[in-house]
Amino acid sequence: MTGILGKKVGMTRIQQADGKIIPITVVECTPNTVTQVKTVAKDGYSAMVVGYDDSQRSKKTRPFRHMREFTLADGEEANFNKGDKITVESLKDMTVVSISGISKGKGFQGVMKRYNFRGGPRSHGSHFHREPGSVGCRAKPGKISKGQKLPGHMGSDMITLTKVKVAYINAENNLIGLKGAVPGATGCLVVISKKA
C-alpha cells in the first residue's frame, strides 16, 4: 500500500491497556478506486492514481471528487490494476504513517498571532501594542527585504506530518484512528501514505 484518501471525522480518546488515555483523530477511509496505473515503459515512472468520493454530479469528465497520484517502487505497478479497491485493510501492518491535509484558514492576521511577535508595552499612552515595529531599511537598499515577517493571510496551507502512530483500525466501518491531531477541519480531505 502506498496511500489512501479519507475524510477527517473528528477527535476522541482511547484508553490503553496500562490505563493511559491518549487523544486520537478518527479518519473515515471509504474504499478508494484505482483509476490509472502508470508504468515506466509507457509514462516514464511508476505510479497509480486513486479516486475518492464518487458523489460528484458530473461522472463523464471527473468521476471522483478527489484524485491523487502515489509513486510506486519499481515493479510494484504489477500489483495494481485499474478498478481495484484500496481499503483500510491495507494499513493493518503499518504502525507509523504520514498524514497530509490543508490546515484551517485563519484569514488576515497580524504578526503577533502569525509569527508570535512579543508586541509592545501595554500601558496607557503607548500607541504600540500589537504593531510589527520598524521593518524598513536606509537609503541603501531602500526597500524591505524579501521574506520579511509581516501581517498577512494565515492558514489554508498543505501540512504534512510524518511518523504519526496508528492507534487502531476498524475495517468494518472503514475507520482508522491516528494518535494526536491531524491538519484540517472536520470533514476535510486527508491523505494517508507510507512514512516518508
Report the top-level CATH class of 3-105+158-194. Answer: mainly beta
Q: Where in the chain are the domains?
A: 3-105+158-194, 106-154
Cβ contacts of 94-97, under 8 Å, gap ≥ 24: 94/1, 94/166, 94/194, 94/195, 95/165, 95/166, 96/163, 96/164, 96/165, 96/166, 96/195, 97/164, 97/166, 97/178, 97/192, 97/193, 97/194, 97/195
| Mean model confidence pLDDT for the chain | 91
Query: Using one digit for the tens of pLDDT, what is the confidence trace for 34-89?
Result: 999 999 889 999 999 999 988 766 667 778 899 999 998 887 888 889 999 999 99
Query: Using one digit for the tens of pLDDT, what is the confidence trace for 117-150?
Result: 999 999 999 989 999 988 888 888 888 888 999 9
The predicted model scores a pTM of 0.84
Percent of the chain with pLDDT over 70: 96
Query: Using one digit for the tens of pLDDT, what is the confidence trace for 163-176?
Result: 999 999 999 999 99
**What's the grid cell of residue 139?**
537609503
Query: Using one digit for the tens of pLDDT, what is the confidence trace for 34-44?
Result: 999 999 889 99
Residue 179 DSSP SS3? strand
